[in-house]
């Protein structure tokens, strides 16, 4: 259990440390070290959970179960690999004169701040603290979106701040209603703790909980990037520094979805109707379908992949909404593979746009000729995210389709159509960027593609065979969420 405190204290130390020493030359490497130690702490925590299944800290402040433990490890892992990428990237941006010492301090300090908020969302047992941490994640990243201080980035950050702030306020209203429902019952101690609420879910008033869930879904849904609350997402992803896009896409969206699913579990326990699931299915499918069409219209490479994130988050929300054991298993797997693949893609995209000196897709050409590793990285990453076998995204999307056919067969054509359109949208942009003629004078840059390769190798591995302990976690989490074992 001590591991939890380490997981939270290390990034906290990071915030303070980098706030004073964030501008030194080797800060990037120190940031990697902080994240590496944190990854070790999360692995320690994971080993504990393997032994004991569910851990509730003394005082019940933290709850670690199979559902959040793999997300915690994933968060630490993506945080580490992104920091490996960010060290030379930010140094390069500083050489280009885009950043000053103070902004580097801010960047590294808030990188750790964001990680802290993410760990807190995942580990806390208190629904109120979860909200506070989620808002904290916005506050930590909002100044990073405007890090370059261009008019566009300031506009993107303002939009991000206002939309997410107002959106997440709805989730707080939902949390208050949830607390109100629990206080109503009476005789429940600490009635904002998830574990307590979950035990007493059948006593809570289902109607109040359903109203609360609507607010939660809108609130946290803004952060997931569900249509029609998604407008901030492409702007924030495209205007901020690329390592930020990688962690926003890979971690923040996942954690917001995690919060929604935690709440859904409470509502399901109370109401036994499928209102919550249907709401999630509706919003998820809408996001999925709207995003795949928007893929075709993009001109900026980071906007392209942020719409792809909306598409995938929509699919996961949809799958959790179906609520059968198979679809829940698929959604859990999809969370993992999407976050690994998408952060790998953003890392490659960051390098690609540094090679070309622009993010505009019409000007990025001939990557494979200039620097084969970046070209191949982008190509393989896109193949993986589009859902080609043998990558993990294929497996999870296939399972989602199977589950849909099983429960709602008439929705399958829509999903298939969407996947097809997304594929076309991604590849029509990708083809010329990777294979096109190399513009004159385009030179390779110093790039560290190890994070990308490791991520893609993991996604490949998950596509071919899911390791036993992970499958075990997924199954246990599935039982926890949907009530029955998958497959």
Partner 1 sequence: MNIGHQDFYTQAILSMAALVGLTSFLMLGQGRLLRLIFVFALQGVLLTVTTALTAYSLDNHHLYISAVLTLVLKVMFIPWMLRRQVLLMNIHRDIEALKNNTIIMLGGASLMVFSYYVLHPIVQTSSTIMLNALAVSLSVVLLGMLLMISHRQAVAHVVGFMSIENGLFFAAIVATNGMPMVVELGIAFDVLVAAVLFGIFFFHIRTSIDSLDVDRLNRLHEVDK
Residues interacting with partner 1, by CB under 8 A?
126, 128-129, 131-133, 135-136, 139, 142-143, 146, 149-152, 154-159, 161-162, 165-166, 169-170, 172-173, 176-177, 179-180, 183-184, 190, 192, 205, 207-208, 211, 235, 239, 294, 297
Cβ at position 367, least distance to partner 1 in Å: 25
Nearer to partner 1, 5 or 450 (CB): 5
Cβ at position 116, least distance to partner 1 in Å: 13
Give the gyration radius of the chain's Cα atoms.
Answer: 21
Burial of 455 (0-12, 13-18, 19+ CB in 10 A): buried
Cβ at position 299, least distance to partner 1 in Å: 8
Nearer to partner 1, 93 or 239 (CB): 239
Count CB neighbours of 1 within 10 A.
13
Nearer to partner 1, 187 or 441 (CB): 187
Cross-strand pairs, 451: none
Nearer to partner 1, 184 or 431 (CB): 184
In sequence order, what are the residues at sequence separation of 6 or more whose Cβ sits closer than 8 angstroms to the Cβ of residue 375? Answer: 367, 368, 369, 434
Nearer to partner 1, 207 or 446 (CB): 207
Nearer to partner 1, 131 or 423 (CB): 131
- CA separation for the pair 349, 301 (Å, rounded): 7
Nearer to partner 1, 128 or 282 (CB): 128
In 40-109, at which residue ranges do the beta strands (DSSP E only) sit?
Answer: 55-56, 63-64
- CA separation for the pair 145, 198 (Å, rounded): 37
Provide DSSP, 192-233: TBHHHHHHTGGGS-HHHHHHHHHHHHHHHHHHHT-TTS-THH
In sequence order, what are the residues at sequence separation of 6 or more whose Cβ sits closer than 8 angstroms to the Cβ of residue 33? Answer: none
Cβ at position 4, least distance to partner 1 in Å: 16
Alpha helices in 227-363 (DSSP H): 232-239, 242-247, 253-271, 275-295, 301-322, 325-356
Alpha carbons within 13 A on the beta-carbon side of 216: 31
Cβ at position 394, least distance to partner 1 in Å: 29
- CA separation for the pair 190, 187 (Å, rounded): 10
Nearer to partner 1, 9 or 162 (CB): 162
Nearer to partner 1, 208 or 479 (CB): 208
Cβ at position 156, least distance to partner 1 in Å: 6
Cβ at position 314, least distance to partner 1 in Å: 17
Structure tokens at 112: 């750790």
Cβ at position 157, least distance to partner 1 in Å: 7
Cβ at position 433, least distance to partner 1 in Å: 20
- CA separation for the pair 473, 476 (Å, rounded): 5
Count CB neighbours of 473 within 10 A.
23
Nearer to partner 1, 12 or 180 (CB): 180
CA distances from 196 to 199, 395, 477 (A): 5, 35, 18
Cross-strand pairs, 363: none
- CA separation for the pair 137, 160 (Å, rounded): 12
């Amino acid at each position: 259990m001590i591991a939890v405190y380490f997981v939270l204290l290390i990034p906290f130390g990071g915030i303070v440390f980098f706030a004073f020493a964030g501008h030194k030359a080797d800060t990037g490497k120190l940031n990697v070290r902080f994240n590496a130690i944190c990854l070790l702490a999360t692995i320690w925590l994971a080993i504990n959970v393997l032994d004991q299944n569910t851990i509730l800290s003394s005082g019940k402040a933290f709850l670690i179960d199979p559902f959040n433990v793999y997300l915690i490890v994933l968060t630490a892992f993506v945080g580490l690999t992104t920091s490996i990428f960010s060290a030379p990237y930010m140094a390069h941006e500083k050489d280009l004169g885009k950043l000053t010492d103070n902004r580097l301090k801010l960047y590294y300090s808030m990188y750790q701040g964001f990680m802290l908020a993410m760990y807190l969302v995942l580990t806390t047992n208190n629904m109120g603290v979860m909200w506070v941490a989620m808002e904290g994640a916005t506050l930590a990243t909002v100044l990073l979106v405007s890090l370059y201080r261009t008019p566009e980035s300031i506009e993107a950050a303002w939009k991000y701040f206002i939309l997410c702030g107002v959106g997440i306020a709805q989730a707080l209203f939902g949390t208050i209603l949830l607390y109100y429902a629990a206080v109503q019952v009476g005789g429940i101690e600490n009635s904002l703790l998830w574990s307590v609420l979950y035990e007493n879910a059948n006593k809570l008033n289902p109607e109040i909980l359903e109203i609360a869930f609507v607010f939660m879904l809108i609130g946290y849904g803004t952060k997931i990037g569900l249509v029609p609350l998604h407008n901030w997402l492409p702007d924030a992803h495209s205007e901020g520094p690329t390592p930020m896009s990688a962690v926003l896409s890979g971690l923040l969206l996942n954690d917001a979805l995690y919060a929604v699913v935690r709440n859904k579990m409470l509502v399901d326990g109370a109401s036994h109707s499928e209102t919550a699931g249907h709401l999630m299915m509706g919003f998820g499918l809408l996001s999925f379908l709207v995003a795949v069409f928007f893929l075709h219209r993009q001109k900026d490479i980071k906007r392209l992949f942020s719409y792809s994130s909306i598409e995938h988050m929509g699919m996961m929300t949809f799958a959790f909404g179906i609520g059968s054991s198979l679809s829940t298993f698929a959604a859990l797997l999809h969370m993992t593979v999407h976050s690994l693949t998408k952060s790998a893609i953003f890392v490659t995209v960051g390098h690609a746009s540094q090679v070309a000196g622009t993010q505009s897709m019409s000007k990025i050409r001939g990557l494979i000729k200039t620097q084969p590793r970046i070209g191949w990285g982008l190509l393989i990453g896109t193949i993986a995210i589009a859902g080609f076998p043998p990558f993990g995204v294929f497996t999870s999307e296939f399972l989602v389709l199977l589950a849909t056919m099983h429960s709602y067969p008439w929705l399958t054509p829509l999903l298939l159509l969407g996947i097809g359109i997304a594929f076309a949208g991604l590849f029509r942009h990708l083809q010329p960027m990777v294979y096109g003629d190399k513009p004159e004078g385009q030179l390779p840059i110093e790039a560290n593609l190890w994070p990308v390769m490791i991520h893609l190798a993991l996604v490949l591995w998950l596509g071919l065979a899911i390791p036993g302990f992970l499958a075990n976690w997924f199954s246990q989490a599935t039982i926890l969420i949907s009530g029955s074992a998958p497959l």
